[in-house]
């Protein structure tokens, strides 16, 4: 039997600072507004995917985090169909580097894992679909613009196709061909920027983005106002703040946008609650910290769950992390509280703690992941890192 052809890639998570919430077309995943995000570094958070192709495979199959999943999932099918369509088009156009036709008809085995716990409640669908599309493209010899395909797996996944600062332009066409992601600045543009993911000890899984935004589109007048009258100008302001590395402007726009997104959730009928008591305390902590210094040094952003994502500059990280640890005292092992990029030890003054003046919430935050902006999807060269065996089945 001929051995399968294996390819392995990794892709990053992204955090939106101008949020995507609401679709105008459910099937093609076309949004009602543009959005902008920061791609997080893959050293801390990434999805790894191996794709195997072989003549002998009877059907497409997929394993996610060790468990076989239903390959007929419509969004997965959209991505597979679109990549095969593109590969066929390249072949018909006579592109020499594209796969031969026998390769195109081959079935795939896909295996994917995250290097962060799903239980952490971090949106894994963006990294997951970005990685799937990037790996399939490698396997079928397809190059070029792929964000429009990743978008059909999960809207936010299109932004994970690029590193650094990325906008998803909503587009106007019915067929969605102009609804694509585009890099605004690469990850090297703002090296002082730091990102802290405060993983809250969530009680239960909140309502998912897909159905949440559906209800919001149907019922929230505020969401309509946001999409039509707030986001277009905010996108321009955000791009200006990023390009000019204007942290105060970037931070204020980020917090206002997160707050407006959660306001549209409350305006949804019946309302959706993603923020919990811990999230609210983090919001107070950030505003009181900034007020203490009379300067916007730290910003927060929340997606469809209670975890806070903090943006700040490198020089403020040690003190702010100390405050987080002070107001959310971890159980015992303070050592494991900070994961990712090392954080220097620093103390916060009594005066600062007093002016923050919050009631400590023991164990409110499980741990902190310290990271920065990072690059887009990558091919993994080392064959020992394939997630599938040479026969095309998940490694034990």
Neighbours of 68 (CB within 10 A): 11
Whichever of 82 and 303 has its CB closer to ligand DP6, that residue is 303
CA distance 314 to 193: 6
Strand order in the sheet with 67-69: 67-69, 61-64, 107-114, 46-54, 5-12, 378-379
Whichever of 37 and 106 has its CB closer to ligand DP6, that residue is 37
Q: How far is the CB of 344 from ligand DP6 (least distance, A)?
A: 31
List of residues 6+ apart from 270 with CB closer than 8 A: 215
Whichever of 51 and 123 has its CB closer to ligand DP6, that residue is 123
Q: How far is the CB of 198 from ligand DP6 (least distance, A)?
A: 16
Q: For 204-327, where are the alpha helices, taking DSSP H only?
A: 209-219, 221-225, 231-243, 247-267, 277-293, 317-327
Q: Is the peptide bond before 300 cis (omega within 30 degrees of 0)?
A: no
Q: How far is the CB of 290 from ligand DP6 (least distance, A)?
A: 24
Q: How far is the CB of 377 from ligand DP6 (least distance, A)?
A: 17
CA distance 183 to 164: 7
Whichever of 211 and 315 has its CB closer to ligand DP6, that residue is 211
Residue carrying structure tokens 């999943």? 69
List of residues 6+ apart from 2 with CB closer than 8 A: 54, 55, 56
Closest by CA to 254, choosing from 206, 286, 276, is 286
Positive or negative torsion for Cα 114, 116, 117, 123: negative
CA distance 215 to 264: 11
Whichever of 231 and 343 has its CB closer to ligand DP6, that residue is 231
Q: How far is CA 81 from the centre of its chain?
A: 23
Neighbours of 65 (CB within 10 A): 14
**What is the DSSP pairing of strand 14-18 with strand 23-25?**
unpaired
Whichever of 21 and 311 has its CB closer to ligand DP6, that residue is 21
CA distances, 19 to each of 36, 234, 256, 336 (Å): 7, 11, 11, 31
Whichever of 206 and 340 has its CB closer to ligand DP6, that residue is 206
Q: How far is the CB of 191 from ligand DP6 (least distance, A)?
A: 24
Measured in degrees and rounded to the nearest 5, phi and psi for residue 11 equal -145, 155
Which residue's CB atom is positioned nearest to ligand DP6?
A: 155
Q: How far is the CB of 95 from ligand DP6 (least distance, A)?
A: 31
Whichever of 210 and 325 has its CB closer to ligand DP6, that residue is 210
Contact residues toward ligand DP6 (CB under 6 A) are 16, 19-21, 29, 35, 123, 125, 154-156, 209-210, 303-304
Q: How far is the CB of 29 from ligand DP6 (least distance, A)?
A: 5
Whichever of 26 and 68 has its CB closer to ligand DP6, that residue is 26
Q: How far is the CB of 212 from ligand DP6 (least distance, A)?
A: 8
Q: How far is the CB of 122 from ligand DP6 (least distance, A)?
A: 10
């Amino acid at each position: 039997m001929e051995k399968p052809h294996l390819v392995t890639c990794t892709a990053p998570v992204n955090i939106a600072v101008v949020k995507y919430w609401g679709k105008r077309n459910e099937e093609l995943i076309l949004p009602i507004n543009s959005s902008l995000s920061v791609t997080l570094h893959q050293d801390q958070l990434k999805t790894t995917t191996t794709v195997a192709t072989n003549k002998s495979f009877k059907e497409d199959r997929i394993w996610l985090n060790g468990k076989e999943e239903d390959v007929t999932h419509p969004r997965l099918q959209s991505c597979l169909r679109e990549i095969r369509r593109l590969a066929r088009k390249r072949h018909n156009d006579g592109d020499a580097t594209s796969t031969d036709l026998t390769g195109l008809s081959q079935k795939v085995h896909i295996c994917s894992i995250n290097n962060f716990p799903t239980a952490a409640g971090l949106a894994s669908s963006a990294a997951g679909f970005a990685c799937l599309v990037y790996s399939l493209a490698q396997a079928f010899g397809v190059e070029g613009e792929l964000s429009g395909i990743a978008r059909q797996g999960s809207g936010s996944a299109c932004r994970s196709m690029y590193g650094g600062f990325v906008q998803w332009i909503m587009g106007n066409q019915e067929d969605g061909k102009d609804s694509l992601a585009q890099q605004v600045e690469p990850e090297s543009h703002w090296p002082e920027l730091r990102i802290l993911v405060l993983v809250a000890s969530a009680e239960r899984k909140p309502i998912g983005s897909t159905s949440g935004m559906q209800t919001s589109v149907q019922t929230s007048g505020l969401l309509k106002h946001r999409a039509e009258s707030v986001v277009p100008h905010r996108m321009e302001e955000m791009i200006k703040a990023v390009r000019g590395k204007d942290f105060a402007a970037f931070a204020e726009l980020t917090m206002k946008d997160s707050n407006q997104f959660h306001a549209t959730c409350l305006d949804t009928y019946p309302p959706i609650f993603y923020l919990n008591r811990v999230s609210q305390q983090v919001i107070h902590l950030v505003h009181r910290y900034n007020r203490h210094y009379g300067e916007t040094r730290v910003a927060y952003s929340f997606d469809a769950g209670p975890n806070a994502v903090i943006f700040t500059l490198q020089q403020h990280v040690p003190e702010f992390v100390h405050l987080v640890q002070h107001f959310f005292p971890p159980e015992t092992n303070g050592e494991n509280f900070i994961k990712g990029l090392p954080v220097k030890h620093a103390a916060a003054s009594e005066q600062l703690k007093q002016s923050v003046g919050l009631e400590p919430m023991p164990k409110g935050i499980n741990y902190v992941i310290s990271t920065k902006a990072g690059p887009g999807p990558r091919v993994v060269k080392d064959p020992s890192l394939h997630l599938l065996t040479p026969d095309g089945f998940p490694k034990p």
